Amino acid sequence: MAFGLSTYPVVYRAKYGKAGWKGGFIEKEHKRPEEEAALKAKERDALVEGRNCYADLPLVNYTTQYGFSVFEGLKALPQKGGGLAIFRPDQNAARFKRSMEGLFMPPFPEDQFVKVVADTVRKNAKLGFQPRYQAAWEKDNYMTADSVYIRPFTYAEGGIGVNISYAPWVMVICTPVSAYFSGGTSDAVVTERVRATPKGTGCFKSAANYTIAALAKHEALEKGFMECVFLDSETHKYIEEGSSCNIFFHLKSGELVSPALGDTILPGITRASIIELARGLKLKVSERKISVEEALIETNECFVTGTAAGATPIASLTYKGKKAKFPGFKKGDLTNALQTTLKGIQHGALPDTKGWMYQVTAK
Question: Which one has a higher pLDDT value, 157 or 330?
Answer: 157
Q: Are residues 269 and 289 in the same domain?
A: yes
Q: Are residues 62 and 194 in the same domain?
A: no
Q: Are residues 319 and 222 in the same domain?
A: yes
251-263: average pLDDT:
97
Q: Are residues 22 and 160 in the same domain?
A: yes
Chain segment 190-221, per-residue pLDDT in tens: 999 999 999 999 999 999 999 999 999 999 99
Q: Which of 153-167, 222-236, 326-340 has the lowest mean pLDDT?
A: 326-340
Residue 161's alpha-carbon distances to 15, 61, 197, in angstroms, are: 21, 9, 24
Q: Are residues 267 and 295 in the same domain?
A: yes
Q: Closest Cα partner for 216 from 240, 192, 234?
A: 192
Q: Are residues 234 and 326 in the same domain?
A: yes
Percent of the chain past pLDDT 70, that is, above it, reads 97
66-86: average pLDDT:
96
Residue 42 falls in the annotated catalytic set: no
Question: Which one has a higher pLDDT value, 93 or 141?
Answer: 93
Q: Which helix (H) or strand (E) holds 115?
A: helix 110-126
Which of 154, 177, 200 terminates a domain? The answer is 177
Q: Are residues 244 and 290 in the same domain?
A: yes
Strand order in the sheet with 357-359: 20-27, 10-17, 169-177, 147-155, 74-78, 84-87, 357-359
Q: Per-residue b/e over 218-240, b at no fewer than 16 CB within 10 Å?
A: eebbeeebbbbbbbbbeeeebbb
Strand order in the sheet with 256-258: 285-287, 256-258, 246-251, 299-306, 310-314
Q: Closest Cα partner for 221 from 242, 240, 238?
A: 242
> Domain holding 210: CATH number?
3.20.10.10
Q: Are residues 216 and 331 in the same domain?
A: yes
Chain segment 14-46, per-residue pLDDT in tens: 999 999 999 999 999 999 999 999 999 999 999
Which of 177, 202, 237 terminates a domain? The answer is 177
> Domain holding 43: CATH number?
3.30.470.10
Confidence at residue 183, expressed as pLDDT on a 0 to 100 scale: 56
Residue 249 above 70 pLDDT?
yes
Enclosing domain of residue 121: 10-177
274-303: average pLDDT:
97
Confidence at residue 3, expressed as pLDDT on a 0 to 100 scale: 64
Residue 359 lies inside a defined structural domain of this protein: no
Confidence at residue 363, expressed as pLDDT on a 0 to 100 scale: 75
Q: Are residues 273 and 135 in the same domain?
A: no
- State phi, psi for 158 to the nearest 5 degrees: -60, 140
Residue 92 lies inside a defined structural domain of this protein: yes
Confidence at residue 180, expressed as pLDDT on a 0 to 100 scale: 62
Residue 315 lies inside a defined structural domain of this protein: yes
Q: Are residues 133 and 29 in the same domain?
A: yes
Confidence at residue 362, expressed as pLDDT on a 0 to 100 scale: 84
119-145: average pLDDT:
93
Residue 5 lies inside a defined structural domain of this protein: no
Residue 352 lies inside a defined structural domain of this protein: no
Q: Which of 75, 123, 205, 343 is catalytic?
A: 205
Confidence at residue 332, expressed as pLDDT on a 0 to 100 scale: 83
Residue 271 lies inside a defined structural domain of this protein: yes
Confidence at residue 309, expressed as pLDDT on a 0 to 100 scale: 81
Chain segment 141-184, per-residue pLDDT in tens: 888 899 999 999 999 999 999 999 999 999 999 999 886 665 56
Q: Are residues 211 and 112 in the same domain?
A: no
Q: Are residues 138 and 204 in the same domain?
A: no
Residue 357 lies inside a defined structural domain of this protein: no
Residue 353 lies inside a defined structural domain of this protein: no
Q: How many domains does the chain have?
A: 2
Which of 125, 157, 177 terminates a domain? The answer is 177
* 89-102 vs 269-280: helix crossing angle, rounded to 10: 130
CB-count exposure of residue 209 (10 Å: 0-12, 13-18, 19+)? buried
Residue 320 above 50 pLDDT?
yes
Confidence at residue 1, expressed as pLDDT on a 0 to 100 scale: 44
